[in-house]
Amino acid sequence: MNKYVNALVFALVSVAAPSLLLAQGDAAAGQAKSALCASCHGSDGNSALAINPKLAGQNAAYIVKQLMDFKSGVRADPTMAAMVLSLSEQDMQDIAAWYSSQSVTLQGANPDSRELGETLYRAGNQDITMAACSACHSPTGQGNAPAGFPSLSGQHAEYTLKQLKSFRAGERANDINAMMRTVVERFTDKELEALASYVSGLN
């Protein structure tokens, strides 16, 4: 299973990520350009409201891809579509550089679901032949920047759960080769809730 996952990740990096690897931004310029973003995501990327994702410490390439997807409509969100409308690719790279340079604040996992969340994250679900989340998002939850896989560490559990359910329902479909949709399509609500809670405190 691990060999399969590693091969898949390598293939995706080789084919899909080169343009992301070229993205370079100026964090200082990004701080100034992120003034409007701060109202929802916090001045340092640690959003106060759990419905809004934390951007602090997020991989810059992933942030750039999401902003581009919002602008193109590949990822649908009326608020974000309006926010990115006037952003150039350089603006996106600068904003991503700023937020990726910040430190994310950690949450705390629900002790009632911690064991299930940790098992799913680190070992997957062998009953339904699902690989471990850590294969792409790393054992510490920091993601895989060259591959464009996001950091999950410290993310609001409510936000993560919403995204997992959106992938499962097919409402969000901007994942490379439908990887996330494939992974979560057979997970139960209980399992998704446990995962979302677990990664909120992962470092």
Q: Is the pLDDT of residue 22 over 90?
A: no
- pLDDT beyond 90 at 9: no
pLDDT digits (tens, 9 = 90+) for 43-68: 999 999 999 999 999 999 999 999 99
Q: What is the CATH number of domain 2-6+106-200?
A: 1.10.760.10
Q: Read off the pLDDT of residues 26-44 as tens digits, 9 standing for 90 and up.
A: 999 999 999 999 999 999 9
Mean pLDDT of the chain: 91
Q: What is residue 125's three-state secondary structure?
A: strand
**Who contacts 81 (Cβ-Cβ below 8 Å, separation ≥6)?**
70, 71, 73
Which residues lie across from 144 on neighbouring strands?
149
Indicate the pLDDT class of residue 14, thresholds 50, 70 and 90.
very low
Give just the sign of the alpha carbon dihedral 67, 59, 107, 39.
Answer: negative
Output the 3-class SS for 30-48.
Answer: HHHHCCCCHHHHCCCCCCC
Q: Where in the chain is the domain with CATH 1.10.760.10?
A: 2-6+106-200, 25-100
pLDDT for position 23: 52
CB 9 within 8 A of CB 15: no
End-to-end CA gap in the chain: 24
What does the alpha-carbon distance between residue 174 and residue 151 come to, in Å, rounded to a whole number? Answer: 16
Q: What's the pLDDT score for residue 167?
A: 98
Identify which has the larger pLDDT, 105 or 11: 105
- For domain 25-100, which CATH number applies: 3.40.50.300, 3.50.50.60, 3.40.462.40, 1.10.760.10? 1.10.760.10
pTM of the shown model: 0.88
Which pLDDT tens digit goes with each residue over 101-146?
A: 999 999 889 999 999 999 999 999 999 899 999 999 999 999 999 9
Does 86 have pLDDT greater than 80?
Answer: yes
In the chain, the amino acid numbered 172 is R
> What is the mean predicted confidence (pLDDT) over 174-187?
95
